[in-house]
Structure 1
Amino acid sequence: MKVLVTPRSFGKTDPGLFDRLKDAGLEVIRNETGGILDEAAMKKLIAPCEGVILGVDPMNAAVLDAAPKLRAIAKYGVGLDNIDLSACEARGIRVSRTVGANSDAVADYAFALMLGVARRVAFIDRRCRERDWSKITSIDVYGKTLGVIGLGAIGRRVARRARGFDMRVLASDSVWDEDFAVEQGIERADADRICRECDFITLHCLLNDETRNIIDERRIASMKPTAVLVNTARGGLVDEAALLAALKAGRIWGAGLDVFAHEPPEDPDWYILNNVIMGSHCSSSTAGAVNLMGTMAVDNLLRDLGLPL
């Protein structure tokens, strides 16, 4: 029985995860490209497989059609927007997630991006490497207002971290937990108010028809000139053309982006801006989170293929 493993970080710190798959009698096909697979590569590699441990590579109807034997998809993460769930349901393909495995890692990275963008850390570092020791004035984080769009497992952890910075927190979520909000002193607000009032805005919601381009040109235009936008969720949540225009014009302070609609982004202007910190979709890539995601994904795949754990 063959299975495909696509995530770049799977098994990197714990090669024993591959041994577990092999010991279960599985022949493992690896992603050897060092990057995210495109549709053509996915169709070729997945054709003989009955299972897949999947990263952010496409699992659309065309890819599924190329995999007639496929029975189980173990998502290495929580976002399912790259999977055609309707097609999976129609075929009886089981889909699982590694819920909670990377929440703290992503929350840490989101806060790192807030701090890094606010204090111009990457820009100052580059200047210093050029032997330029001039002072760079940046903006404060402590005591400011944070907006969290998506108060799920990761958003909650970001909100908790904000308490250590004595931040006022506004948040929105499609399923509101009033008890948690009261306990953490969080104010409920819609995306419009968050974009208008908050000094820092961080995205932690799923990508779907309701949230696609939730940060659009209008909402970007309403942000403070000192606002910082952070996205560690999905690139499709942001109108990237509108954001890029605002950053180039200096209409907001900056952005920390670990995700893009197309990765890596194609517009060369992203690479020359000093008010952006970019990440390679790596917010969940800590040793602890990678190991836990890998273990959970293997457990889920073996279970859904009817093999012993």
Structure 2
Amino acid sequence: MNKRILITSRSFGQISDEPLGMLEAAGYQVDFYNRDFDPTEFENKIGDYQVLIIGGHEFPAKTIKRCTGLELILKHGTGLDNIPLKAAREAGIKVCNAPGTNANAVADLTFGLILDLARRISYADRTVRNGEWKTVTGCDVFGKTLGLLGFGAIARNVALRARGFSMKILAYDPYLDRIPDEFADFVTLAHKDLVLAESDIFSAHLPLNEETRHIISAGTIEKMKPGAFIVNTSRGGIADEQALAVALVSGKLSGAALDVLEREPLSAQNSLRDLDNVVITPHIGMYSKEAMEAVSMICAQNAVSLMKGEPLQFCVV
């Protein structure tokens, strides 16, 4: 019997037909469930499939019990915080992601948000559309100090972009004891407190786990340079949004740009919603044509490898 694959990622195969064609050519029966997602319906469906290509929706650990035939979970992206890895391991289900495929896309967005905050581009656009024509004063990015929280693939690409703006680049990464050689000339590895104290712009690039949840907190912000900017394109739970809002209103921070929130989509009650010094984008970091195609291809290749009994790429469980 042919294996069945369920695709719940909304962006799989959106750029070309090649990833879907690979699955069908390998003999998979392919079904999509990526619109009007309902957790209960997903739980009822998943037991009929051997492979899942999953996006950002939750996959509760209890649902693993329904996955009697599931062999492989493929994350259409990098972050694994929505997948119950321990439960999958105990059930003998392999889990793979697609790291690095979105590094340039997220780095581009990150640096775009840095420029937006510093020059108040989005704010100026809003004032013009509201019928005003007034001077909006920002600040230079050139020559400023950029602090990177984490120094993985995305942060390294941000550093490459920042180098072109002659920025002083400090990086804190609890998993590194030295900067890779190719970055040693222009990036300094430093203690988190030093990065906080000296950075004009602070950009988060860490996975979300129990150690990193709310690593940007009231205490963290208090250690930052007055008037600094915060950018988060990693995971929403990295930042305590209430503490962030307080600092933005008080003027402790000049601005923040967020591509991710603790709860998505943005709610009407979110205290960041109406602040003029906040830029919020709808979790679009990986959504470049190049990144979307690359991650779809890796997922398809891994599914084909499972069918052929070949080694999997980027297997984390």
TM-score calculated relative to the size of structure 2: 0.90
Alpha-carbon shift at residue 71 of structure 1 (Å): 0.5
Structure 1 position 135 matched with structure 2 position 135: yes
Q: Distance in 2 between matches of 1:226 and 1:181?
A: 31
Structure 1 position 225 matched with structure 2 position 193: no
Could you tell me which runs of 5 or more consecutive residues in structure 1 were left unpaired when the two chains were aligned.
Answer: none
My pick for the range that moved more, 183-192 or 256-265, is 183-192
The one-letter code matched in structure 1 to 2:146 is L
Alpha-carbon shift at residue 55 of structure 1 (Å): 1.5
Q: How does 1:149-298 map to 2 (within 5 A)?
A: 149-173=149-173, 174-180=175-181, 183-266=184-267, 267-298=269-300
**Alignment: residue pair count:** 307
Residues 30-51 of structure 1, C-alpha deviations (whole Å, 9 max, x = no match): 23426xx564343234231111
Identity of aligned residues (%): 37
SS of the equivalent of 2:5 reads strand
After the TM superposition, list the runs of 4 or more consecutive aligned residues in structure 1 that deviate by more than 4 angstroms. none
Q: CA RMSD, aligned part only? A: 2.0
Alpha-carbon shift at residue 70 of structure 1 (Å): 0.9
Confirm or deny: 8 A CA contact 2:23 2:303 kept in the other structure: no
Q: Distance in 1 between matches of 2:44 and 2:245?
A: 35
SS of the equivalent of 1:295 reads helix
Alpha-carbon shift at residue 302 of structure 1 (Å): 2.1
SS of the equivalent of 2:35 reads coil
Distance 1:305 1:60, change over 3 A: farther
Confirm or deny: 8 A CA contact 1:172 1:190 kept in the other structure: yes
Residues 213-255 of structure 1, C-alpha deviations (whole Å, 9 max, x = no match): 1111111122233211111111111111111222233321111
Alpha-carbon shift at residue 305 of structure 1 (Å): 4.1
Alpha-carbon shift at residue 12 of structure 1 (Å): 1.4
The one-letter code matched in structure 2 to 1:50 is Q
Confirm or deny: 8 A CA contact 2:110 2:233 kept in the other structure: yes
Q: Distance in 1 between matches of 2:91 and 2:13?
A: 29
Alpha-carbon shift at residue 52 of structure 1 (Å): 0.8
Residues 151-205 of structure 1, C-alpha deviations (whole Å, 9 max, x = no match): 1111111111111010001101112333437633222222222222201111111
Q: Distance in 1 between matches of 2:94 and 2:295?
A: 18
Confirm or deny: 8 A CA contact 1:24 1:307 kept in the other structure: no
SS of the equivalent of 1:112 reads helix
TM-score calculated relative to the size of structure 1: 0.92
Q: Distance in 2 between matches of 1:33 and 1:179?
A: 42
Could you tell me which runs of 5 or more consecutive residues in structure 2 were left unpaired when the two chains were aligned.
Answer: 313-317
Distance 1:210 1:113, change over 3 A: same
Q: Distance in 1 between matches of 2:41 and 2:162?
A: 41
My pick for the range that moved more, 19-28 or 110-119, is 19-28
Structure 1 position 21 matched with structure 2 position 23: yes
Confirm or deny: 8 A CA contact 2:26 2:307 kept in the other structure: no
Distance 1:192 1:44, change over 3 A: farther
**What is residue 93 of structure 1 aligned with on the other side?**
93
SS of the equivalent of 2:170 reads strand
SS of the equivalent of 2:253 reads coil
